[in-house]
């Protein structure tokens, strides 16, 4: 029997409790999960691609079911090249569904084996996004209720080095 494996793509900038919840709950359904960290040139990241990959790898270093990789390009190109068919997408609010549904249809047209597994977020994280966390950081707000302690420590270091945040 082949293990059920899936991909959970995103920018993870920064990694939040919402992301962690999605990852942990995905592992109730799938045997293996690859967290695919996106290089999105449109977004201005707080952390470099290498830093984001490192943060996630460190957080899940003891879990052999989780693999962490990065990519630059179309998700379906990566999925085809690595024999993945299932993509995890989290839904917080109705607007997420509209966007994700459009993306799912497009990805299916580009890769006929593509399938998406929509997972509703825990209600505690329905308002949470990395963009919101970065906005709070920019105005010196407390994000400790949104990110793990290890990420919070890296944010503080980043703020000391760069006065952008």
Catalytic residues: 19, 43, 92, 130
CB 46 within 8 A of CB 158: yes
Q: How far apart are CA 96 and CA 93, in angstroms?
A: 5
Q: How far apart are CA 116 and CA 103, in angstroms?
A: 10
CB 21 within 8 A of CB 125: yes
Q: How far apart are CA 150 and CA 91, in angstroms?
A: 25
């Amino acid at each position: 029997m082949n293990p059920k494996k899936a991909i959970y793509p995103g920018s993870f900038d920064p990694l939040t409790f919402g992301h962690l919840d999605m990852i942990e709950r995905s592992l109730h359904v799938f045997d293996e999960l690859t967290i695919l960290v996106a290089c999105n040139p449109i977004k201005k990241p707080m952390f470099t691609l290498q830093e984001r990959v490192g943060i996630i790898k460190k957080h899940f270093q003891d879990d052999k079911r989780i693999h962490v990789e990065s990519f630059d390009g179309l998700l379906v190109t990566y999925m085809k090249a690595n024999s993945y068919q299932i993509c995890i997408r989290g839904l917080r609010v109705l607007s997420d569904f509209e966007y994700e549904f459009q993306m799912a249809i497009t990805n299916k047209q580009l890769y006929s084996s593509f399938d998406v597994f929509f997972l509703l977020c825990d209600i505690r994280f329905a308002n949470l996004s990395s963009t919101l966390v970065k906005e709070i950081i920019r105005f010196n707000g407390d994000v400790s209720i949104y990110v793990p302690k290890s990420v919070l420590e890296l944010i503080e270091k980043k703020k000391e080095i760069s006065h952008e945040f």
